């Protein structure tokens, strides 16, 4: 990662913007251009974290972000003077990565990706919509009527948090419903339900958080979020054994055609699972 500031352009800027979104600066967008909004958010972030609020993102800001759990693709933490403790932590994290299931690189990414906007539309139908300045999405065609159905996931009644659904009834895309039902059954059969602490949402007509142009896969009724309290957007999801870790759920999810947000190359979204391909359930 190189030093970036107002006026900088490129991948490093985009990555920094994803980090800021993860810190709840949702006004920032991942444009790759270090604009006024990115500058203001950076200064605010620095001020709140006891860093020099100059809007220049260098070693100290990256270190802080890394300490907060953001996994920069090209970041090699070198402890600065007086930051030995953080350096030690970073080192420990690294050695964990070599051990079986305990590191942040487990489980490995599957051999497929989450669908691009064009592919999602092809697979799940064309959503015609309009949006306002605030990014509120309003559906304009009968896509919802044609595609979104109520399905029952009985396992939702057996996890830590009981609300957010009606006795297991949730909304989902009809084409992906069989594999959603099958996945939760498989999780239960594998004894993994105790790892699920909370359930958040599936179908929601909205943009990707932080964007005002790109529809979320939640808008297609093909994504859902769990363990949201311990898997904040933009942070490295907790490793196996840590509270709220859902990494052990991922291999089965992949088997049933779901891609895990913790595998997103830039902005990690550990709470998030989305349908990447339609699986026929016998």
Q: Which residues bind Zn ion (CB under 5 A)?
A: 225, 272
Give the nearest distance from C-beta 208 to Zn ion in angstroms: 9
Angle between helices 84-96 and 59-67 (to 10 degrees): 50
Give the nearest distance from C-beta 187 to Zn ion in angstroms: 17
Give the nearest distance from C-beta 249 to Zn ion in angstroms: 14
> 61-84 burial, b if ≥16 CB within 10 A, otherwise e?
bbbbbbebbbbbeebebebeeebe
Are the beta carbons of 48 and 56 closer than 8 angstroms? no
Q: Strand 272-275 vs strand 223-225: parallel, antiparallel, or unpaired?
A: antiparallel
Looking at the Cβ atoms of 55 and 221, the one nearer to Zn ion is 221
Q: Which among 172, 156, 173 has a CA at the least distance from the CA of 164?
A: 156
Tell me the β-bridge partners of 145. Answer: none
Sign of CA pseudo-dihedral 8, 266, 94, 111: negative
Give the nearest distance from C-beta 115 to Zn ion in angstroms: 14
Looking at the Cβ atoms of 5 and 206, the one nearer to Zn ion is 206
Q: Is 95 exposed, middle or buried (0-12, 13-18, 19+ CB in 10 A)?
A: exposed
Cβ-closest position to Zn ion: 272
Q: Which among 67, 76, 45, 56 has a CA at the least distance from the CA of 13?
A: 56
Give the nearest distance from C-beta 101 to Zn ion in angstroms: 24
Looking at the Cβ atoms of 247 and 272, the one nearer to Zn ion is 272
Looking at the Cβ atoms of 53 and 164, the one nearer to Zn ion is 164
Looking at the Cβ atoms of 23 and 225, the one nearer to Zn ion is 225
Looking at the Cβ atoms of 34 and 187, the one nearer to Zn ion is 187
DSSP string of 38-93, one letter each residue: HHHHHHHHHHHTTS--SS-B-HHHHHHHHHTT---TT----PPTT-HHHHHHHHHH
Give the nearest distance from C-beta 198 to Zn ion in angstroms: 13
């Amino acid at each position: 990662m190189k030093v970036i500031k107002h006026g900088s352009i490129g991948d490093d800027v985009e990555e920094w913007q994803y980090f800021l979104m993860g810190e709840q600066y949702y006004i920032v967008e991942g444009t790759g251009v270090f604009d006024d909004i990115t500058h203001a958010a950076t200064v605010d972030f620095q001020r709140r974290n006891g860093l020099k609020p100059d809007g220049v993102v260098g070693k100290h800001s990256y270190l802080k972000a890394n300490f907060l759990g953001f996994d920069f693709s090209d970041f090699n933490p070198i402890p600065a003077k007086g930051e030995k403790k953080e350096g030690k932590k970073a080192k420990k994290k690294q050695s964990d990565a070599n051990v079986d299931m305990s590191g942040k690189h487990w489980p490995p990414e599957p051999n497929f990706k989450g669908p691009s906007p064009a592919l999602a539309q092809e697979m799940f139908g064309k959503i015609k919509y309009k949006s306002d300045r605030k990014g509120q999405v309003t559906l304009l065609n009968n896509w919802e009527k044609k595609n979104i159905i109520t399905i029952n996931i009985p396992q939702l009644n057996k996890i830590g948090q009981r609300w957010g659904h009606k006795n297991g009834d949730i909304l989902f895309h009809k084409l992906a419903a069989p594999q959603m039902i099958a996945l939760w059954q498989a999780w239960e059969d594998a004894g993994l339900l105790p790892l699920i602490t909370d359930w958040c949402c599936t179908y929601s007509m909205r943009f990707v958080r932080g964007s005002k142009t790109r529809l979320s896969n939640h808008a297609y009724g093909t994504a859902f979020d769990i363990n949201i309290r311990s898997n904040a957007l933009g942070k490295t999801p907790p490793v196996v054994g840590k509270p709220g870790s859902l990494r052990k759920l991922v291999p089965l999810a992949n088997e049933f055609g779901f891609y895990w947000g913790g595998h997103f190359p830039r902005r990690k979204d550990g709470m998030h699972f989305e349908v990447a391909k339609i699986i026929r359930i016998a």
